[in-house]
């Protein structure tokens, strides 16, 4: 690594970086030392309990979470940043459509672009500025893909506290924001750590969780969280969790929607996060009609590309099973012949929740030709 050749006052450097961050669209900025985060032992215990589910990459990179030098060699400081993504509130009239073949999408995915791409572009500009101010400086921007306990570093940098729903909360911004970090080998002027917990006796998030995913306050069993089952989980969720999906097909906002601190969160001015009308509520019948090419054309470059066609259509089938409708019945019968076995399995489960002769007839027809055992099991369970 090339050593920096220019000495810059940490206070001046930090002030310039924070000013630039605000100009780039970040609403919060705070600096802290890159020492091992205080929550590392809780994270290790969380992994040991198996709460990460199929997210095996977390355990595989456990050592890096404890030492930011494994993310950026020689790192000394972290500039933690937040970018608001609250846009409009879901209209009650629109949400009424959920009962008729429509599903819900977490609000961070309502826009036209993946937030990772939007924020990385801004982080690159911020890193370039740092290297311009301090020639030879080392810097790396991170937005929830590198092994960094961002929420813990954000608390250390004074951006807020960890709420009972495990999200970072800020008095003025609630939790409707993305976190990002700029790691550097330069000394910054550190902010005071946020040491006060303002959740008090409130249990709104814990009690509202549709799957009761919180083992206790501040501890989330990701295996039961709808944001995990609809995005991260590649296998079929347990039957009880499929029913708990209700209309949610990508992520879940329930624990944030009920949080009192989110009632005062500001509206984002970022155009990339402006909602596309058809993204929430989203037409489930239309989703099930998309082949691979059509799915990519519609969702490429958006957060929904992460679970891919398999994950999104699997969840769409669950949602149609949870809220049966005539249009949904026809779509599920058709997707029972999909090339993807997980989509067929999800459709078989959903058809089992329709008290219709057409549903039973379609399941029996598929059972006669189905070769994948997992799908056959779902068909048998639905017919029984």
The pair of three-digit structure tokens given for residue 303, joined into one six-digit string: 């957060």
Identify the burial level of 184 via C-beta atoms within 10 angstroms of its C-beta, where 0-12 means exposed, 13-18 middle and 19 or more buried: buried
Which H or E run contains 105? strand 102-105
From the list 9, 128, 144, 340, the catalytic residue is 144
Contacts of residue 43, defined as CB under 8 A and 6 or more positions apart, other chains included, come to 62, 65, 149
Instruction: Give the burial string for 205-240 (b: 16+ CB within 10 Å, else e).
Output: bbeebbbebbeeebebbbbbbbbbbbbbbeebbeee
DSSP string for residues in 227-257 = HIIIII--SPPPHHHHHHHTTEEE---HHHH
- Tallying the residues shown for the chain, one arrives at 384
Count of helices and strands (H, E) across the chain: 18, 11
Q: How many CB atoms lie within 10 A of CB 371?
A: 7
Q: Catalytic: 144?
A: yes
Q: Which of 156, 133, 125 is CA-nearest to residue 39?
A: 156
Distances 232 to 63, 164, 218, 263, 372 between C-alpha atoms, Å: 22, 22, 21, 28, 23
Catalytic residues, by residue number, are 144
């Amino acid at each position: 690594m090339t050593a920096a050749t220019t000495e810059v006052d940490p206070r001046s450097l930090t002030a310039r970086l924070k000013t630039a961050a605000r100009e780039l669209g970040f609403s919060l900025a705070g600096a802290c030392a890159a020492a091992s985060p205080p929550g590392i032992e809780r994270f290790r215990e969380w992994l040991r309990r198996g709460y990460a589910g199929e997210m095996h990459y977390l355990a595989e990179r456990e050592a890096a979470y404890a030492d930011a030098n494994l993310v950026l060699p020689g790192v000394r400081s972290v500039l933690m940043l937040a970018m608001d993504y609250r846009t409009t509130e879901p209209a009650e009239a629109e949400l009424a459509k959920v009962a008729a073949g429509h599903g819900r999408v977490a609000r961070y995915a309502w826009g036209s672009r993946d937030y990772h791409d939007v924020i990385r572009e801004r982080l690159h500009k911020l890193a370039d500025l740092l290297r311009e101010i301090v020639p030879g400086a080392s810097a790396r921007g991170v937005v929830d893909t590198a092994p960094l306990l961002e929420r813990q570093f954000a608390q250390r940098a004074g951006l807020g506290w960890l709420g009972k729903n495990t999200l970072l909360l800020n008095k003025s911004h609630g939790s409707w924001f993305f976190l990002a970090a700029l790691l550097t080998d330069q000394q910054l002027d550190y902010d005071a750590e946020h040491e006060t917990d303002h959740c008090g006796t409130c249990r709104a998030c814990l009690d509202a969780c549709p799957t009761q995913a919180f083992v206790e306050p501040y501890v989330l069993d990701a295996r039961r969280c709808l944001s995990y089952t609809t995005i991260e989980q590649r296998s079929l969720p347990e039957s009880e969790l499929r029913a708990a999906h209700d209309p949610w097909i990508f992520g879940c906002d329930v624990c944030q929607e009920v949080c009192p601190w989110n009632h005062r969160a500001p509206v984002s001015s970022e155009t990339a996060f402006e909602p596309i009308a058809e993204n929430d509520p989203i037409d489930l019948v239309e989703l099930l009609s998309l082949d691979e090419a059509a799915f990519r054309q519609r969702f490429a470059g958006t957060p929904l590309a992460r679970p891919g066609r398999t994950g999104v259509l699997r969840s769409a089938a669950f949602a149609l099973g949870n809220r049966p409708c005539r249009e949904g019945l026809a779509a599920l019968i058709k997707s029972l012949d999909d090339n993807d076995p997980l989509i067929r399995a999800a459709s078989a489960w959903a058809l089992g929740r329709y008290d219709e002769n057409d549903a039973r007839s379609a399941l029996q027809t598929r059972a006669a030709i189905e070769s994948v055992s997992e799908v056959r099991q779902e068909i048998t369970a639905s017919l029984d």
